[in-house]
Every structure is written in structure tokens, then in C-alpha cells.
Chain A
Amino acid sequence: MPELTADLGACQGYANCVVAAPDTYDIDDDGLVVLVRTEIPEEDRARVEEAARSCPVSALKVDGK
């Protein structure tokens, strides 16, 4: 299954990802992204990737088949 990863060193808490896919991304109290799930079913991939692309510092990646 496609896998979602986050670069916590890059994350700035801009939170665009959470707005785009709240079922997959959240943000903690310090303003860092929290991945609600990392295995992304194929049918959700496009939406989760679109959310990843909305990250201004490219901290999110979906890899694999």
C-alpha cells in the first residue's frame, strides 16, 4: 500500500494538509503534523497526495504502490 511520510524537521505547522484531508493529517499542540494513518488505500491516494502538495515546505510524501 502507498506509504505516507512526514519530515517533522521541515514541518512549520502551516496546516494546509489538515484542511485538505482531515482524515489523514492532524496537527499537535506544538504545531507539528500528526499522521493519523500512514498506509494510504489506493482509493484515497489522489486526495492525500493533493493535501501533501499543499504543504508549502514539501514536508509530506506518498511513496510506493
Chain B
Amino acid sequence: MSAHAVGRGPGADGRAVIVGASVAGVRTAQALRREGWTGPVTLVGDEPHPPYDKPPLSKQLLTGAWEPGRAVLLDGPAAREAGITLRLGSPAVRLDPAGRRVSLADGQTLSYDVLVLATGAAARPSPWRPGSGLHVLRGLDDLLALRRDLELPGPVVVVGGGFIGAEVASAVRARGREVTLVDPLPVPMARLMGEEVGAHFNGLHRRHGAVTAFGTGVESITGRAGALTVRLSDGGALPAATVVVGIGSVANDAWLRDSGIPLEDGVLCDEYGRVPGHLGVYAVGDLARRRLPGPGGPQRSEHWTSAVEQAACVARTITRPSAPSAEASVPYVWSDQYDWKAQIVGAPGGARLHRLIGDPDGSPARFAALYSGDGARLTGAVLVNWPRAMLMARRLIAEEGALAHAERELTATGQVSRA
């Protein structure tokens, strides 16, 4: 089985190695089998835990509604049944694309015919380093450490008002704890959905008893678990038993630095996940910085649904290289905060808010915010507690539907559902 056969046709008996064992990696491995790959499939993960899913970390696993076992994506028996070899507990540390070899930290070397890079992203490290008691949340070990520290009495401070910070604040409130959420932006969600709708998300925190210190930076965090002090740029200081920092992510691409694989906070690849200049090498999920058709530079999607779709597509492209397959659907991300299930479709960020339909202040709230990039077509929407409207918006965005039409359809559903 030569690499060239893989490039030319369905050389489905080659050795497939997938590095990174969360949702993108696991789904790629499973999809390769479904697509008829008969050669060995090896899935490499740095963590010792059975592969697990990330979204519950800031939701059900943090409130305590789920125990970690529930988030497992692939256990030993399921892997054996699917013919997937799990190599867990040792990170990949080097890639030699010319020799088609991946080296692991434990000294093992894996040879491949097809390589899928799926090492995802890590939490952006905290610039503040108190003695203890400061947490980020990206993996299971982070969660377990945070859950342990949440046993300490006293207030919790969350730095960063994006999705992760907001979900952590919500989960910590659900545990009955005092929370202050700090972000240098006056309306942290504004970048994603504009000032007006973002302001409703600010209000959501306050309605549920979280204190917000927005428009305020962090100067320093000192002390230790149970007795921390967060000093703010406005001169204030917040005592905290525990601090959680959620200030974005960085791609886990450091291990590829000397490999010649094109990197730019992630692995540069085309819309099919193929890495240019490296036949048989693909990138999927949060690690993949894809050059998509249309304007705009290459982008990393950091959404679960996209990771799942990319995995299915890359497996098809690997098994049928002459008919590569790309993710077709509209960008979609959800976020669960307090009693809001927020769903964001398309690209409301950068587009103009056209209209807000429904009631953002009700209890429960239900609304749809419609956005347009060009004033004519629906290009993005933010929906709260209204999955049917999300489906409608998602379809209309895919069809490049007229804004006026979207507005009519959504207003009509809104009336039906309230009747």
C-alpha cells in the first residue's frame, strides 16, 4: 500500500492514523470504518481518559447533573468492535511527513498512509498566576480540579464573558454560589451578535443573581485557593475562593512546528480538510483552519456540529479522493445559559441587526434576532428558547432567503406558537 495509491484512488487498506481523540478524531475514525476503510485505524490521544465530549464540561458536568461517564464518546469495547486501536495517555510530539511517521512522547512511532490531524485547541493560558485556585476549562482534568475547588466556600469570579465564561457563571449560580463575571468589554457578546442583542445577554446574568463587572479589565490575581484577590482596572478588588478564566482558545499545533505542515494558529487546509502540499494529510475540527469558498481568510470553526460534519466529510474524502466532500451546512453553535437555550446560525457577527421578534425579557424568554450582511438577505440569526425558529432561520440562510420573507415566516410562527 503506497501513499500514491491513496492519492489516486480508494486505497482503503492503508494505515490510517488519527491524532487527537475528542469528537473530531473519534468521529473520523468511526466514519472511516463506515465508509469501508479496511486497513488499521489508530486513534492517538494525549489524555489517559477514554475519549469524551467537551460541551457538557461547562454545562451538565459542571452543575453536577451528569457524571463524567455520560460524556464518553468511545469506550474500549466500542473501539474494539469498530476495529479502532486506541493509543491513549501519550501525546504525539513530532511528525515526519516525508517518512510518514508520527512519534509519541512515550517513544513509540506510528507509520501511516493517511494521517488526520485532530488535536483541537487548548484554553488560552491565563496571564495571571496566583499560587492556586485559578482554573481554565477545556478538558476533564480541568473540570475535576474545578469541581474540587468549588467545594471551598466563598464567592467565585469568572474572567471572560464569552460562551465558556457565561456558561460557567450560569452553572456556578445553579450550584447556589455567588458569582461575579468580569470582562474588559462592556457587552462581551457584542462581537458575536451586536450591542443590542448582546445587552440582553448581560441582563440575563444579572437576572439570575450574577454580578457583572463588564467594561473592566483584570490587573492582577493573587493569593491561593480559598483566599484569592482579583484586582480590577477600575481600582476595585474582588475576593474569591475560586477563579475561572475563559478568555478564548489557541490551536494545539505546537507539536507540528518543525514538520513543514502549514500552520497559522491551526493547520491550514482547504475546504475538504486537505493540507496543501501534503498528500494523504488532513485536518479536522477545532485545529483545522480552512480556506472556504467566498471572501474572507482561512478560518477555524470552534463549534461541535462543524467538527462532527468535518469528520464525516474527511472520511468520505479519504475513501473517495476523486470526489472530495465538504461540509455544506450553515454555521451553527448553541450555548446554554441559565434558562436560555441560545442558538446562533449563520454569521450575525459583523452583520446588521434587522429586527428582534419575540420577547427577550419574558420568563421564559423567547426571541429571534435576524441579521443581514447586505440589507436584503438573511445571513445570520440569534434565537433563544425557540428551536423551531432556529430551524427556519437555518433553512432560510442556506437558501439565501430574503430578509422580508424571513421576517414574515418567523412572525407567523411566533403568533401560532403563542396562540
Residues of A within 8 A of B (CB): 12-16, 18-19, 27-29, 31, 46, 50, 53-54, 56
Q: Does B108 belong to the interface (CB within 8 Å)? A: no
Pick from B27, B53, B390, B417: contact of A15, CB under 8 Å: B390
Give 12 A-B pairs besides A14-B343, A15-B387, A53-B308 with Cβ atoms closer than 8 angstroms: A13-B341, A14-B387, A15-B390, A19-B329, A19-B332, A27-B387, A27-B391, A31-B385, A31-B387, A50-B312, A56-B53, A56-B304
Chain A residue nearest to B416 (CB atoms) is A29
Contact across chains for A16 and B341 when beta carbons are under 8 A apart: no
Q: Which residues of A contact B394 (CB under 8 A)?
A: 19
**Chain B interface main SS type:** helix
Contact across chains for A16 and B305 when beta carbons are under 8 A apart: yes
Q: How many residues of B contact A (CB 8 A)?
A: 23
**Contact pattern, B 232-266, Cβ under 8 Å of A = 1, otherwise 0:** 00000000000000000000000000000000000
Q: Which residues of A contact B183 (CB under 8 A)?
A: none
- Min CB distance, B302 to chain A, in Å? 14
Nearest 4 interchain pairs by C-beta = A13-B387, A31-B387, A29-B417, A15-B387
Known contacts A12-B341, A19-B394, A31-B341; A54/B308 CB under 8 A: yes
- Min CB distance, A35 to chain B, in Å? 15
Within the assembled complex, what's the spacing in Å between the Cα atoms of A24 and B27?
A: 22
CB under 8 Å from chain A, chain B span 379-396: 385-388, 390-391, 394
Known contacts A14-B334, A56-B304; A19/B391 CB under 8 A: yes
Q: Which residues of B contact A19 (CB under 8 A)?
A: 329, 332, 391, 394
Contact across chains for A27 and B388 when beta carbons are under 8 A apart: yes
Chain B residue nearest to A14 (CB atoms) is B334
Q: Does B298 belong to the interface (CB within 8 Å)? A: no
Within the assembled complex, what's the spacing in Å between the Cα atoms of A12 and B336?
A: 10
